[in-house]
Structure 1
Amino acid sequence: MGVYQIKNTVTGKLFIGSSLDLPGKLNSNRFQLSMKSHHNKELQADWNLYGSDAFTFEVLENINPEKIAQESWRNAVAELEEKWLDTLQPYGDKGYNPPAKPLAAANNTL
């Protein structure tokens, strides 16, 4: 479990994600992209444009499940993903991730 990136080697754009099952998630992303059914439409469009050879799939950081209580795995993975999103800022021209919603706007419901 941990955090991964999908990198467009032509544009340098990144997609950052996380999973409790990294091999399965990376395989799922490859399959969805090859079937033209990935949930991230911008990533899918670039995959269609540049082809599979223009993308790399890489694990950025693993979490050792033996060092964390099982009930904390999801939180640990989410925190690690947030760290990588903060570090790499894969938004707009730099990536495929949607920008995080500001807390003030998210909590401002009338």
Structure 2
Amino acid sequence: MDRKRELKQQYKDTPRLMGVYRVVNKTTGRSLVEVGRDVNARLNRHLTELRFGKHPNRQLQADWNLLGAEAFDFELIEALKPLDKPDYDPEEDLELLLAMTLERSEFDKERLYNR
């Protein structure tokens, strides 16, 4: 029983990949750009929602349904290294990183799925 508890705690203590990521439509060039405290989990959630036709972004879901999974890529744009503070909350840093990322010229606001 202790081994199970140790493994559970070890999993909780494992640092997660945080940062800005995107779901990109390779056919149209449109992207959904977002941030996440656990990028891998967020990308997995997007993939699951798209596969089951339940993604909250209707435009993205419609393109997925029309073009199929092979027309999309999931990419990490920029990782955020967490500060080594016990009370550190990365939300503010993630939102700032997202704003800075979206201001870059490579992201045409007309080609974003973001609302």
The TM-score, its normalising length taken from structure 2, stands at 0.77
Gaps of 5+ in 1: 99-110
1:47 maps to amino acid:
W
CA deviations over 1:14-60 (Å, ceiling 9, x no partner)? 11011000000000000000010011000000000000000000000
Aligned-residue Cα RMSD (Å) equals 1.6
How many residues were matched structurally? 97
2:49 aligns to what? 32
The TM-score, its normalising length taken from structure 1, stands at 0.80
CA distance in 2: counterparts of 1:67 and 1:60, whole angstroms:
22
Shift of 1:91: 3.2
1:60 maps to amino acid:
I
Structure exhibiting the larger radius of gyration computed from Cα positions: 2
1:72 maps to amino acid:
D
1:85 aligns to what? 102
TM superposition outliers: structure 1 runs of 4+ over 2 Å: 66-72, 88-92
Gaps of 5+ in 2: 1-17
